[in-house]
């Protein structure tokens, strides 16, 4: 019986260490998400500033490169957030169920229950903030470019950049399409690897 108790104690210690480690990983990934959002905002300001310096005749064309830059940043953000959701589900569905065995609910279960029960806020702010920053910054850059650059015809580089920008905006919108579903639908939708 001693060996059984000892292995149970070791398994419990392992699960507790795993739980602490995964919670720390969630925090690190959320920090990276916010760094990517701030990078986007700072890059937009930099592109606008550089685009409108007086000694650059091709300056307004630079602002049209910004929406293309946002796509890989948005994809990196999406990957970080996807991993946070996977870790949260693992903690909720495996670790918390094993340790708490229906007596209480842990952090992940409680936060999901609160989000699901909240009919006043079906879209949590944190869930839609990042995607909105990416899309609005792309739209702003596109509108500034359209305002500053005069139409020169279909064969001009600016037209190619306009079409690329609109495409990149749709790519980002498609990437974050699940973010704009109510929490109840998000919870029931399986995560892909």
Tell me, what's the pLDDT at 145?
84
What phi and psi, each to the nearest 5 degrees, are found at residue 104? -140, 175
Contacts of 6 (CB under 8 A, 6+ apart): none
Each domain of the chain, given as residue ranges in start order, spans 2-188
- Residue 146's nearest CA partner among 159, 133, 136 is 159
What mean pLDDT is predicted for residues 13-30?
87
73 has pLDDT over 90: yes
d(CA 6, CA 69): 54
Contact 142, 159 (CB under 8 A): no
Q: How far apart are CA 50 and CA 14, in angstroms?
A: 53
Query: What is the per-residue pLDDT for 8?
Result: 76
3-class SS of residue 122: coil
* pLDDT tens-place string over residues 150-179: 766 666 777 888 889 999 999 999 988 877
DSSP code per residue over 62-87: HHTTHHHHHHHHHHHHHHHHHHHHHH
Query: Which of 22-26, 90-94, 111-115, 154-158 is the least confident region?
Result: 111-115
């Amino acid at each position: 019986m001693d060996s059984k108790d000892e292995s149970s104690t070791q398994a419990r210690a392992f699960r507790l260490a795993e739980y602490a480690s995964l919670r720390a990983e969630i925090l690190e990934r959320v920090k990276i998400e916010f760094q990517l959002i701030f990078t986007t905002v700072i890059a937009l300001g930099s592109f606008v500033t550089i685009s409108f310096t007086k000694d650059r005749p091709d300056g307004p064309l630079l602002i049209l490169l910004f929406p293309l830059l946002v796509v890989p940043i948005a994809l990196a953000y999406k990957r970080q957030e996807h991993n946070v959701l996977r870790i949260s589900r693992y903690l909720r569905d495996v670790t918390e169920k094993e340790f708490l065995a229906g007596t209480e609910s842990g952090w992940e279960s409680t936060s999901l229950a609160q989000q699901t029960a909240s009919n006043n806020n079906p879209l949590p702010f944190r869930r839609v903030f990042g995607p909105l920053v990416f899309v609005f910054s792309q739209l702003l850059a596109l509108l500034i470019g359209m305002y500053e650059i005069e139409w020169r015809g279909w064969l001009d580089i600016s037209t190619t950049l306009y079409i690329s920008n609109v495409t990149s905006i749709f790519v980002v919108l498609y990437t974050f399409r699940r973010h704009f579903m109510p929490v109840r639908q998000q919870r029931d939708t399986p995560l892909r690897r």
